Amino acid sequence: MRAVVGSDGGRVRVVIADDRPLVRSQLRRLLEAQPDFDVVGMGWSGMEALRLVHELEPHVLVLDQDMDDVPGVQVAAHLGDAGMKIRVVLYAIDEGLGDDGMPRSSTTTQVVLDDESLRALMRAIRRPRAAQLARAN
């Protein structure tokens, strides 16, 4: 069994999965700017996320909950059913409304995380998997 994420002082191995290329690349940039994260793979679908997790054995899967093929919740459930020892961090980005609450007319998408959202994402990735390890014992 692998050690708890970060307990050995090593880098946290992360796979990112999102069906939007811009979101994937921006998340990768944000995570790789952290001294303790190493993005080891990026996927564009739920099925690709599953393949990457089995192939690369990351500590954490950062996953869009609204993937087109297999929703993130189902990916997480499959990994749990398969006994995979991995932390899954699900997120959602509301691209549909602008700051004024009206639908956006532009087709340009940019991921903007406020400071609190970014801190919450980093905490979720770094949090030890104590509950998962307790279930395994």
Reported as a single tens digit per residue, the pLDDT across 58-90 is: 999 999 988 889 999 999 999 999 999 899 999
Residue type, 135: R
Rg of the chain on CA atoms, in Å = 15
Assess if residue 78 is contained within a domain.
Answer: yes
What is the DSSP track for 110-121? -----HHHHHHH
The sheet carrying 87-91 orders its strands as 37-43, 12-17, 60-64, 87-91
Assess if residue 126 is contained within a domain.
Answer: yes
For residue 132, pLDDT over 70 is answered with no
Number of domains in the chain: 1
**Lowest-pLDDT choice from 15-19, 28-32, 120-124, 132-136:** 132-136
Structural domain including 115 reads 12-93+107-131
Return the higher-pLDDT residue of 35 and 106: 35
Read off the CATH number of the domain in which 117 is found.
Answer: 3.40.50.2300
The whole model's pTM is what? 0.75
Assess if residue 2 is contained within a domain.
Answer: no
Assess if residue 136 is contained within a domain.
Answer: no
* Interatomic CA distance for residues 13 and 86, integer angstroms: 10
Assess if residue 3 is contained within a domain.
Answer: no
Assess if residue 37 is contained within a domain.
Answer: yes
Assess if residue 114 is contained within a domain.
Answer: yes
